[in-house]
Amino acid sequence: MPGRVLTRVPVTARSVFACLLFSHLLTGCGQPPGGQHQDYAPQQRASLSSVFYTGNPLPDPPTTAELDQVAERVESSQPWERELLETLYPDNHALWVYATRDSDGDGLLDFWISDYYGRFLEGDTDLDGDGLDNVLDAEPFVVTPGGQKTAGLPAHVDWAGQGKPAEMVRIQHALYDRHRVLLVERSARFTPELARSVYDVVTRVYRALFSDNGTLPTLRIIATEESSLLNPDDEAGAGDFAQVMAHSQTLEIYRRGIGASPVIQLGYLAHEIAHNIQFSYDYDAQRQDEIMRRNYFAAPHFLELVGQYGWTTVDVELEADTGYALFRPHYVVLEPHEYRYRGRSPEEWEAWLTAIYEEVGEADYLGDERITAQHILGDYSLSGPWEWYSDYVIAWLYLAMLDSLTDQCAPERRAALAAAFQNETVQGEWPWFRFENGRGAAVLAHLDQEYPLDPVDIDYLAEQYLQAAHPGICTSG
């Protein structure tokens, strides 16, 4: 599933998140483990107050007619859909209304919901239908045709009036004015370091893509959130750095990603924006509408690309009652096919990796020659072509930074830097990802061609991110 960056699921044990990594069909694994044993209604309601930006207006309370109608609709819905809604919001018809409401009647629901404890997410990106995106609308639930659109940022999201440091203000304005990418705070805050990392990924790592005031139609918001889940302390989401919400063209960054070192930020941001790029291969308004309605994205052009490197699909038949009509659960993805890499299913790769892991142990796992010979970066990269491609972007970027030091750093010192970077910084955050395994992989030539790195940029990134993380190792000579 696109977006979950390097969240480790032990290969020796299946868990809730194994459903996300190794299944593309409706499995029922999105329900809270063990059922709903706590009243989460206050937190669920609170999530509505930052679904667009910090302190955004709340939706109107449900009317009597809405409450009556939603009870009838739930009662007549499919059993699994009814069970999930009742589990997430037990006997709370008001929250049922918010989860199923379509304010402007365009067939796109106002909100999506996380099927992990019912956090509310942006659904329809202009839910009142007045032509202004929710995040730019001071009154997102009130139709005010015309008059609201401005050339710059509206006051409620403009950091210039919120006491932010001047450099953060400059970055926010530059990204929005030149590339139509808005940095916005939701339930968490940007740091100066994170803002700088975002700026450098957009303007340096992806310079070729965003040059000459270029835009990416599948990326409009980069937002900070406390957690991917309703409860920031929930163990299931503790490893999440960021994820892309394809239906709302949003990249969400969570507190672990906010607090990561800049060189790790550089990696996961490059990974995530690569997802937005993947979607852009097949983007048009009709396909975007399909994502928002069905949480399904047909991507023939992207799949043709990764097919050159060993990815294929096998069609599967969905069960007759698979689907949903009442609401849009975020983590339930209805894909009519299974991805296979080099002819193996995700389950077969999982079994192969498990056998090696159990044979050699954790310390030597990803360095085993059977894995390195196939340029496998980690088990998460085998969960599907989306993560495979984005993980290679991280490896490509990190290897390029290391290689840029060839002329100024003695070979043994550069090797020491590479080892320290992998074994301390990278492994400290992503224990099951080995970027050095990417060296020599065929897809790196594609990345070089698609996103050519300016020598000045890569030298800057190597100095400001890689060498800054391990000062004093790589010196001239």
pLDDT in tens, 401-460: 999 999 989 999 999 999 999 999 999 999 999 999 999 999 999 999 999 999 999 999
Which two tokens mark 430? 């992503």
- Confirm if 386 and 398 have CB atoms less than 8 A apart: no
Digit-coded pLDDT (tens) for 89-144 = 998 999 999 999 999 998 899 999 998 899 999 999 999 999 999 999 999 999 87
Q: Give the DSSP letter string of 400-440.
A: HHHHTTTTTS-HHHHHHHHHHIIIIIIHHH-TT--GGGGTT
Q: How many CB atoms lie within 10 A of CB 211?
A: 12
Q: What is the pTM of this model?
A: 0.91
Cα separation, 202 vs 198, in Å, equals: 6
Digit-coded pLDDT (tens) for 247-275 = 999 999 999 999 999 999 999 999 999 99
